[in-house]
Structure 1
Amino acid sequence: MPTKPFSPFVAAIWKRLAETLFVEPRDMAISPSQVVDNLQRMFGYMTGRTPAETALSVVATWTVLGGPAWHFAPRRFRIWRIERRLKNSRIDLFQDMARIRGIVYAGYYGHWLDADPADTGQAAEEDANRANPVLDSLGFTLPRHRTRAGTPDDPAIEEHTANDLPDTVFVGEDAIPSSVEVVVIGSGAGGAVAASNLADQGYEVLIVEAGPYLPSSRISPHEARMSSTLFKGGAIQTTSDRDIVVFQGRTVGGSTVINNGICLRLEREGETHPDANDVLATWQSLGAGIAADELDASYDRVEARLGVHEIDRRLGLNNGTRLLSGWNAYRAGSSDPLDQRATSGWFRKNWGAKTEDNRCISCGYCNTGCPYGRKRAMPESFLHHATLTAPRKARILPNAEVSQIGWGAPAPDGRRVATSVQVVLPDGRAKTVSVTKGVVVAAGTIASTNILSASGITGTGKGVSLNIACPVPALMPDPVRAWDEDQMATYIDRGDFLIESHFQPPMSMATLVPGWFDEHFERMRNYNRLASAGILFPVDRVGEIKGGKLSFKLKEADLAVLRRALAVLTKIQFSGGASEVYPALLHGETLKAGMSDADIDQFFVDHIHEPDDVVLSSSHPHGGNTINADPAKGVVDIDQKVHGTANVMVADASVMPSCMRVNAQMTTMAMADRVTFGQRVFG
């Protein structure tokens, strides 16, 4: 049971917010006190400074609202003050504070009942929540309790544990080796692929991961616990100005554990819009020429290991199919060349086809870890190979952060030589591990930058790109039950942006559905009638890592793409039969069926003036330690070796020279494979 991170004073503020932000407490499915208990548990699972920083934000928000005068006022007054100070404010600080409502919603819609201590396992957890009052109020059914057809195309919902990693591959805190040949920092898309290839070449590899390992038996549909445990910053990490939520995994397997398994290449015939930016050509112009045939060979190897294939149609029966249907109806009436030349289809993903044991059962929980062991994320694929079947088996040290790289005597040509890494354990102890061959840095754009910078590498953290997402839920006249399928099934490549179907379990969905007070509560009551999709648009090289955090400023041209993309998706939702559309605007404004295309376009011009006006997120930070043949223009060379060093390589998304524009995991894996497969990287 986690500790309670919030003091009685802060807990009292949370309770008052819960009594204000929903409906009258008597009409809530659980009490405001229970919401506070849920928040105490959710933040209690988190590590780092997130709970303390959130507590400060809550007290600051309470002060802005009026302190005791607000706290003890009637609910009507409290609502009025929130509307004036937060909901309708144009002050940047107050707009940031307004986002705290999403945390309160998580405390309500993430409600979870404990199983009897005598019962163990995931099934017992779900059975204990068969009568969960919040889930019942939404008409939501947990996966094991769903009634399905029982045909071969509709497999039983049960765990598949064959690919879980055994305890023997992990190194305990008291068994950390004093010396190894290679340390790989990070176990996500890039680090796992690099570690697997290096282990195949006979190197002694130690993989150091900041987060824990959770086998499928420890992953459950308990959204609050999984988000707090598997995500960096408990899934509420933001850019330094709080304008964009940045989702990153902090677990063995990294972000591959908490994503939807989408496997898009930078370019693929029939998949990529013909007018889209040629990413490899852009890289070439920047001084980072990557041979297309080499990258394609790496894509092929990665896809073979992961079993990548186009997903089955049954996985998008409700929400995914609805997006494509709305798109076809919209495009039939559009004269825009970008619409007419757009591509659309079903995602290719990294889990088994319907004839395989690990076939997806469409539980809808990909983004908080696969509770049933069906996805071939890094633990079930490349890490499984590296630690169990490679010629020289790698080992994994979880729950440990690398703070910096240590250097020894320089090489004869003057290049720096890494001879150690400093590892920091959860209790604050620091241990030094000697390195005899080399170091692979693959901790993600933010963490890799911080490690390299702390190690004396200059020029890091510049030119960070993001693929930025924004959701657009829509109210349909009939039940959709979008939660009973793959979270993300279909896509449209519009050239300047992508549109992707997506739907979330209750807690996550509540943070995406806009609106305040009773309005938001009623929208969530219509959970079964909601369809949802989101836009994904590229913002190229405007970010920088400063003080350990990502600073990222959108320009007016980026906001113009955002408005255009939201307008197109809104029109698609109406073409698909929506009666109302709820773009993720801070104030919760609604569009209604019957609006003209011109009115929809103008709606977004009128309502989006700055990033604070809309909920934005990114799961794809990349760049910052970019490839460039010229040491003055990049941190790593074409082979991803850090300039000026003899044995340090970067193998994660931070090496990308410009924005990838599509979901990042496949290209991150392929780029790591490109520089580690079939060659002695460190001599």
Structure 2
Amino acid sequence: MAEPWRANGPGRVLTGADIARDYEERADACVIGSGAGGAVMAARLAEMGARVVLLEEGGLYTRNDFDMQEATAYPRLYQEKGQRATADLSITVLQGRCVGGGTTVNWTTSFRTPERVLEHWRAAHGVEGLDPATLAPHFDAVEQRLNIREWPLAQVNGNNRVLWDGCGKLGWQRALTRRNVDACANLGYCGLGCPIDAKRSMDVTYVPDAVKKGAHLYANTRAVRIELHRKRANLVRAEVLDPATDRPKGHSVLVKPKVVVLCGSAVNSPALLLRSGLDFNGRVGKRTFLHPVVASIGVYPQRIDGFYGAPQSVTSHQFIERGPGKIGFFMETAPVHPMLAASAAGGFGAAHQEVMARLGHVSALIGLTVDGFLPGDEGGTVSLRKDGRVRLDYRLRPEHWEALREANKALARVQLAAGAESVHSLHEDPVELRREADLPKLDAAPWRPVRVGLFTAHQMGGCAMGKDPDKSVVSARLKHHHVDNLFVADASIFPSSLGVNPQETVFGIAHWAAGHIGRNLR
């Protein structure tokens, strides 16, 4: 059933199911990707009077499609049906693939870019002009549009209460998170698409805003190549996918733009540049960062019901800076929906069954390591396989493993302080802890690839911004160093990770960049 924003206004919305022929569009701006960067960019440019074509590889889904079933959501809404991983299979990559991108499936946590990160980008990478004062009005604007507010303590669920109470008993820093929701019913299924449109994700905010201002949205339409004439992008080639099979239908969409803005994500944006032959200095795909995540499972005598309630509403940055030579980490929570929990939990047979049987008594805490700040930490690399598919390599250094181990120990301490009967790691052979005296067991555990479950829901870098065109892909104003009318405006531009959830940083930077990109179209 068509949503109101699809039926009204001068814009147009076509999905793979609607397209039965080739299309050719002339546009002021072709925006590739409809997530945190692309949606804000498209809406801002359309509001400024630009003719915008918005291309999205994933499908268009509405609240009527969000049935709160993991078996439905992962194949529909996630990259590679929720099975994307690093090349060595050591890190599971959770990444959105639908209209709204990651904002449709993330857990709503919203942070402004930390000032220390902006200062690091300036000092280490020559990124001038992105300071707190410059970004503040843009953060103000998106926070108002998306109703970003602190979640009240009274509505914190049992899973997040563990982090709040445990940190409190240990005397560690803790805070309530801000969330982009309005009239939230505290259902807890944010990662599967919001069935009541309470989440202020891009599919219900900035994408409709863009269409109402005249933008043309093509869903199930994968950009396969950006072509140049001299030093300008003059054509974007896209193929139409069948929503039922996700295979090409044989139809194409060709866009002839004045400007191209690439917002496909920190994995897919570098991949498109590589497919297009636009890696002039060998830096595309380099410096890819993941906030590698370790999780800890706590089992309690009382019910936690971590599958209900806002997935993330408490955070702790107690260990964000751990001193010279150390990688910091921050602590949050993850929901314990059955499929997600079953795939993450270690062990086999009876041991695995026992954990799942007590799912209502389980809490899941996560430690997110802050990569990209130590000298020599180049993160991972996005490249293309021989068949054209994306490959993501990420080698964990000894400093990463040390941080992951210490994060796991900190999470266990929080859970034990909050009253856990037992705490379990996600090792192939899970480590069980029942008291703080057991923590050395984690030191003896195997901290090696595929011997412990690791995850990422935050992909950053790969098209890093910087002053030096020989060491970065785009300038501080997000323009490609070697293509005059090509910009990148998503998390791929970050020259390091953030140490916070990235969506609001992308919102704010895209909102800022749309100003000078739009002025160039007049």
Same fold at TM > 0.5:
yes
* Distance in 2 of aligned mates of 1:164 and 1:566: 45
How far apart, in 1, do the equivalents of 2:458 and 2:342 lie? 22
Change in Cα spacing, 1:422 to 1:248, as seen in structure 2 (3 Å) is same
Q: Match for residue 462 of structure 1?
A: 286
Pair 1:484 & 2:308 matched: yes
2:30 matches 1:217? no
Name the CA shift for 1:321/1:443 in 2 (closer, same or farther; >3 Å).
same
Partner in structure 2 of residue 535 of structure 1: 367
Deviations 1:273-308 (A, max 9, x none): xxxxx2112111212222321122221111111110
Alignment of 1:250-649 (within 5 A): 250-267=97-114, 278-284=116-122, 285-289=124-128, 290-331=130-171, 339=172, 342=173, 344-352=174-182, 359-388=183-212, 390=213, 393-408=214-229, 410=230, 416-426=231-241, 427-429=248-250, 431=252, 433-458=254-279, 459-494=283-318, 495=320, 496-540=328-372, 541-547=378-384, 548-592=390-434, 594-596=435-437, 599-600=438-439, 602-649=440-487
Separation (CA, whole Å) in 1 of partners of 2:22 and 2:278:
30
* CA displacement at 1:176 relative to structure 2: 2.9
Separation in 2 of the partners of 1:294 and 1:565? 34
Structure 1 pair 442/209, CA: closer, same or farther in 2 (3 Å)? same
Q: Where in structure 2 are the equivalents of 1:128-147 lying within 5 Å?
A: none
* Equivalent pair of 1:351/1:375 in contact (CA under 8 Å): yes
Q: 1:622, 1:656 within 8 Å by CA — same for their partners in 2?
A: yes
Aligned-partner Cα distance in 2 for 1:292–1:561:
29
**Contact 1:489–1:502 (Cα < 8 Å) also in 2:** no
**Structure 1 segments unaligned to the other structure (5+ residues):** 1-120, 122-160, 269-277, 332-338, 353-358, 411-415
Deviates most, 281-290 or 430-439: 430-439
- 1:564-602 Cα deviation digits (max 9, x unpaired): 11101101101111010012112122112x342xx40x2
Percent of pairs with identical residues: 26
Q: Distance in 1 between matches of 2:7 and 2:366?
A: 37
Taking the aligned partners of 1:486 and 1:235, their CA distance within structure 2 comes to: 21
Count of residues in Structure 1 that have an aligned counterpart in Structure 2: 486
CA distance in structure 1 between the aligned counterparts of 2:267 and 2:157, rounded to whole angstroms: 37
Segments of 5+ residues of structure 2 without an aligned counterpart are 242-247, 321-327, 373-377, 385-389
CA distance in 2, matches of 1:432, 1:396: 11
Q: Deviations over 1:543-567 (max 9, x none)?
A: 1112221110110011111111110
Partner of 2:244: none
* Structure 2: distance between partners of 1:479 and 1:330: 22
Instruction: Identify if the C-alpha distance between structure 1 residues 385 and 432 changes in structure 2 by more than 3 Å, giving closer, same or farther.
Output: closer
Give, in angstroms, the shift of residue 512 of structure 1.
2.3
How far did 1:203 drift?
0.8
Q: Matched residues in 2 for 1:233 and 1:681: separation?
A: 37
Q: Is the 8 A contact 1:164 1:215 kept in 2?
A: no
Q: Is the 8 A contact 1:477 1:529 kept in 2?
A: yes
Within 2, Cα distance between the matches of 1:539 and 1:164? Answer: 40
Determine helix, strand or coil for the equivalent of 1:531.
Answer: strand
Name the CA distance, whole Å, in 2 between partners of 1:658 and 1:606. Answer: 31
8 Å CA contact retained: 2:223, 2:238: yes
Which amino acid in 1 is paired with 2:330? Answer: L
2:454 maps to amino acid: L
Distance 1:164 1:558 in 2: 45
Residue 322 of structure 1: CA displacement? 2.5
Going from structure 1 to structure 2, the CA distance change for 1:164 and 1:215 (only over 3 Å counts) comes to: farther
Contact 1:236 1:245 in 2 (8 A): yes
CA distance in 1, matches of 2:501, 2:221: 28
- The change in CA–CA distance for 1:431 and 1:175 in structure 2 (over 3 A counts) is closer
User: Which piece of structure 1 moves more, 604-613 or 172-181?
Assistant: 172-181
The answer to whether the 8 A contact 1:538-1:660 is kept is yes
In the aligned structure 1, how far is the partner of 2:12 from the partner of 2:257?
21
- With the length of structure 2 as denominator, give the TM-score of the two structures: 0.89
CA RMSD after TM alignment: 1.9
- Displacement of 1:608 in angstroms is 3.3
Name the CA distance, whole Å, in 2 between partners of 1:384 and 1:530. Answer: 38
1:165 to partner: Cα distance? 4.7
Structure 1, residues 316-356: CA drift from partner, whole Å, max 9, x if none? 1322223211111122xxxxxxx4xx3x111101011xxxx
The 5 A counterparts of 1:218-257 are: 218-257=65-104
Spell out the pairing of 1:126-205 with structure 2 (5 A cutoff).
165-166=6-7, 169-171=12-14, 172-173=18-19, 174=21, 176-205=23-52
What is the distance in 1 between the residues matched to 2:520 and 2:499? 29
Contact 2:265 2:492 in 1 (8 A): yes
Mapping 1:51-70, distance limit 5 Å:
none
Contact 1:583/1:590, CA 8 A, preserved across alignment: yes
On the 8 A contact 1:183/1:207 being kept in 2, the answer is: yes
Aligned partner of residue 170 in structure 1, secondary structure: strand
Q: Which has the larger radius of gyration?
A: 1
Contact 1:184 1:439 in 2 (8 A): yes
2:30/2:257 contact within 8 Å kept: no
Deviation at 1:635, TM superposition (A): 0.8
Paired with 2:166 and 2:22, the residues of 1 have a C-alpha distance of 57
Cα distance in 1 for partners of 2:436, 2:83 equals: 35
Deviation, structure 1 residue 622: 0.8
Please give the alpha-carbon distance, in whole angstroms, between the structure 1 residues aligned to 2:333 and 2:273.
Answer: 37
Q: 2:194 and 2:99 mapped to 1: Cα distance?
A: 13
Deviates more, 1:164-173 or 1:621-630: 164-173
Residue equivalent to 1:61? none
The answer (yes or no) to whether the contact 2:95–2:457 under 8 Å persists in 1 is: yes
Q: Which has the higher contact order (CA 8 A, sep 6+)?
A: 2
The amino acid that maps onto 2:207 is: L
Shift of 1:266: 2.0
| Letter of the structure 1 residue corresponding to residue 470 of structure 2 | A
Q: 1:507 to 1:437 in 2, by over 3 A?
A: same
- Greater share of residues in helix: 1
The aligned amino acid for 1:349 is R
Q: SS at the partner of 2:208?
A: helix
Structure 1 residue 662: Cα displacement: 1.1
Contact 1:186 1:209 in 2 (8 A): yes
CA contact (8 A) 2:31 2:263 kept: yes
**Other-structure match for 1:20:** none
Partner SS, residue 567 of structure 1:
helix
**One-letter identity of the residue aligned with 2:176:** W
| Letter of the structure 2 residue corresponding to residue 404 of structure 1 | R
TM-score of the two chains, using structure 1 as the length reference: 0.69
Superposed displacement of residue 179, structure 1 = 2.4
Larger displacement relative to structure 2 (372-381 or 288-297): 288-297
